[in-house]
Structure 1
Amino acid sequence: MKKVAIVQSNYIPWKGYFDLINSVDEFVLYDDMQYTRRDWRNRNKIKTPQGSSWLTIPVEVKGKYFQKINETRISDPLWAKQHWQTIKQFYSKAPYFKQYSPLFEEAYLMMKEEYLSQVNFTLIQIISNILGIQTKLSWSSEFVLEEGQTEKLLGICKQAHADVYISGPAAKDYFNEDIAQNMGIKVEWMDYSGYNEYPQLFEPFEHGVSILDLIFNVGPNAQNFMKSFKK
């Protein structure tokens, strides 16, 4: 029984995103969708002594109201170096920073990608490898996309030979489960509640930050604070 999830790429996503990746056999990056401003596509949060703080990749948006995520270009070539300096500033004292920082430092300082999608893909791959996630990553552009929100998703599922489509709960607002039932595809919804807290450098505790926070603070024990790994 093959399980598939289809989600827009995010920048250094939170742990729930990687739980979704780890819950399926194939994870499709849905970057043929329209780029949305002030969203998770090009930004995420890290912990600082003053609370959570945004790390945002600067992208070209002026006059580009309908551009797709995979068409969105980065506007400042120095962003990666600046982001790494900020991450190092606030996580250098985390218990596992020294163990994992070389991987991220190389990725950030060698980052040459001009498009947001490629940056997100690179970092998602690195983080998945650290967590031991072996799910196949694909692009929506590799599939023939049908008309209609639900039909697009289920068309990808059919082409990927999926039996089960797993989605985040936000899609319940528009997803038509009757169409899935008629196509013989089972639908499951991720539950992002009930995560256990882990030691963070700065209080108060916050779940909704980049998974870098989890990796640098608990290292090899990260799986124990996620939901998709068998305990």
Structure 2
Amino acid sequence: MKVGIMQPYFFPYIGYWQLIKAVDKYVIYDDVNYKKRGWINKNNILVNGEAKPISLRTFKVSQNKRINEIEIDHDLIYKKKLLKTIKEAYGKAPYFQDVFSLVEKIINDSEPNLATYLTNSIKEICAYLNIQTEIILSSELEKNEHLRGQDKILEICGLFSAEEYLNAAGGLLLYSPLDFQAQGIELKIIQTSHISYQQRETREFVPNLSIIDVMMFNSLEEIDAMLIDFTVLNNFSELFQVNATIE
């Protein structure tokens, strides 16, 4: 059993979807503290050849609240402007018609809870990309709520009898391979390859944009190939080498 666990994000980059596809069960980590300066409610799209931010409005925000305690500001004027920005940015993209319909459906979701809203969006995009991984909310699992950090991750893995725990490269700073090994779990790190594709009106490829950009410029077959274009690091020498690079 391969398990992945990560917070929900607003139209996250391709690496997020690689992780979902690579595991058997994907746990959306919605009962951890919200980070005001993080990427949970924002991302970047391509506007006039440059990365420009888009965001999901929230209110009653606090880093003392969990992600599933944050509410969305469903201001219709703001949503209309957001959709207009995306439409103007990608109106000439080859897959605009189908992708914009999906994006419009996601953004216009009236769900008030941030975690549920983002979970809905993740499931919609998984369906579009034909990713069939089971998606579970961490808040729905019966677990020890006093655990934190790595201990909480290990307990969730234990609930599913996980043999492998997959995480993005940032997990190198958070987890100990030896501690996972002691629980009979192999820690594996997914390192996304240097993916590039033809973006219109750009002199140089702009990487790590929202999945919106990927879907606008690529066919489903092309995206499917990207979803498996990564390296799995699972031995200590590889892990320490990547860790040193990150630091």
- What TM-score results when the alignment is normalised by the length of structure 1? 0.90
Q: Counterpart of 2:122?
A: 124
**Equivalent runs, 1:146-165 vs 2, <5 Å:** 147-165=147-165
Percent same amino acid among aligned pairs?
29
The residue identity in structure 2 corresponding to 1:175 is Y
Secondary structure at the counterpart of residue 27 of structure 1: strand
| Post-superposition offset of 1:50 | 5.2
**Equivalent runs, 1:20-169 vs 2, <5 Å:** 20-49=19-48, 51-61=50-60, 64-78=62-76, 79-109=78-108, 111-143=109-141, 144-145=143-144, 147-169=147-169
Q: Counterpart of 1:216?
A: 216
The answer to whether the Cα contact below 8 Å between 1:7 and 1:28 also exists between their aligned partners in 2 is yes
1:144-199, CA deviations, whole angstroms, 9 ceiling, x for partnerless residues? 1452311100100110221110011212212122221111111101112x333101
| Post-superposition offset of 1:38 | 2.0
Distance 1:105 1:72 in 2: 22
| Post-superposition offset of 1:115 | 1.6
| Post-superposition offset of 1:107 | 3.1
| Post-superposition offset of 1:142 | 1.9
Moved more, 178-187 or 19-28: 178-187
| Post-superposition offset of 1:81 | 3.0
Distance 1:107 1:178 in 2: 40
Distance 2:134 2:10 in 1: 18
Distance 1:160 1:210 in 2: 30
Secondary structure at the counterpart of residue 4 of structure 2: strand
The answer to whether the Cα contact below 8 Å between 1:48 and 1:90 also exists between their aligned partners in 2 is yes
Distance 1:106 1:182 in 2: 45
Structure 1 residue runs without a partner (length 5+):
none
| Post-superposition offset of 1:8 | 0.3
The answer to whether the Cα contact below 8 Å between 1:51 and 1:202 also exists between their aligned partners in 2 is no
Distance 1:185 1:227 in 2: 22
Asked whether 1:10 is paired with 2:5, we answer: no
Moved more, 172-181 or 153-162: 172-181
Distance 1:116 1:42 in 2: 8
| Post-superposition offset of 1:61 | 4.5
The answer to whether the Cα contact below 8 Å between 2:74 and 2:110 also exists between their aligned partners in 1 is no
The answer to whether the Cα contact below 8 Å between 1:7 and 1:29 also exists between their aligned partners in 2 is yes
Number of aligned residue pairs: give it: 225
The residue identity in structure 2 corresponding to 1:186 is E
Go from structure 1 to structure 2 and tell me whether the alpha carbon gap of 1:99 and 1:93 turns closer, same or farther (over 3 Å shift): same
Distance 1:61 1:28 in 2: 25
Distance 1:23 1:205 in 2: 26
- What TM-score results when the alignment is normalised by the length of structure 2? 0.85
Structure 2 residue runs without a partner (length 5+):
231-247
The answer to whether the Cα contact below 8 Å between 2:27 and 2:135 also exists between their aligned partners in 1 is yes
Distance 1:119 1:84 in 2: 17
